[in-house]
Structure 1
Amino acid sequence: MHAYLSSSPYIDSDHPDVAKMAADLVRDCASEEERVKACFAFVRDSIKHSWDYKLNPVTCKASDVLKHGTGYCYAKSHLLAALLRAIGIPAGLCYQRLSVGDEGGPYCLHGLNAVYLQRYGWYRLDARGNKATVNAQFTPPLEQLAFTIKDKNERDLPEIWAEPLPLVVAALTSHASVEAVAANLPDIELV
């Protein structure tokens, strides 16, 4: 579990602001699940999804997401992983391949998290941010993610990554605006 508890360049759980926020969020929580839910709800509800709100700057590092209060799904997942790691709860990154529109191509990756809960094992949760068409919740052991798989070219990718995929980091660090990221969303080839 060491990799899922460690601080890193993009999941900088040892950053003072991230560590302080994590401690503040869980101060009155009595159980592991309450601590996870508090961190999840904060990222889902208080950090604005960059595209939904057309907010710059483009963020990637967890501490930058916290500082600017905005991030694409990938960046929000970096912050949630960092908050959880800061309080000693193993957290990783997961991805789905989804249609950019309502159905069919083009496709892109969507970032979410997995957390290791003592009671259930690995559990996926999605702090993307709710809106009229999205209702992600923390309801273990049942998953209630932001998106469901709708067509044959979409996928729930089974891996739990300790670090962000390089193509996700490249998309977030090589484009200067949310519009540029939206025009260059990361995707993978299905095999």
Structure 2
Amino acid sequence: MLSKIFKILLFWSSYVPVFILVFLANLHDFSKDSVEALLSVNPGLWITLVVITILSSTASDWWLSSAEVDFKNRSKDPIDISNWKLESPGITNFLLMCAIPVLTLKPESSPTIVMNLIIMLIMSVYAVRNNVGYYNFWLMFEGYHTYTFDGKVVISKYKKEDLPFRNAEKAMQIGTTNVYFIGKFRD
């Protein structure tokens, strides 16, 4: 159960830019009065979005930093990476994920808030059940690349051309998932 909650938090970190866009879309102008007026319309909504942002960003940052530490300290398995391909987090999916809340969420309208919450929960369940929460724009913003090969996912700050990608490389498997991590190699 905790791992599913953690995966949901990781996935929700990709919503952080969306929350900012929703806020900006509902601002009348960039004045202090406009910001205060918007925050006063539905303070519970904004507090919830800030809490989700803090929790999901913290979970994402903790996961990445612990993966880096584990990578340095644990043994790595050789994996065949000869047919890697860079996997973008899906710009079309991300734009749709952004467009719906940005265009429809109105802080003063409970039905639009509930509708967007339902969409976010559906997307979260999909991401966790299909193990696609790692295709995350937040990872891209933090400088990570996502690669796929033979049904496996590799996350690394290295670009494909920066590593000696030959027929095998050492990677750390994350738990029992199909996700691997390649951190910084010691010099």
TM-score class, shorter: under 0.3
Larger proportion of helix: 2
Answer 1 or 2: higher relative contact order, Cα 8 Å, separation at least 6.
2
Larger proportion of strand: 1
TM-score by structure 2 length? Answer: 0.25
TM-score by structure 1 length? Answer: 0.25
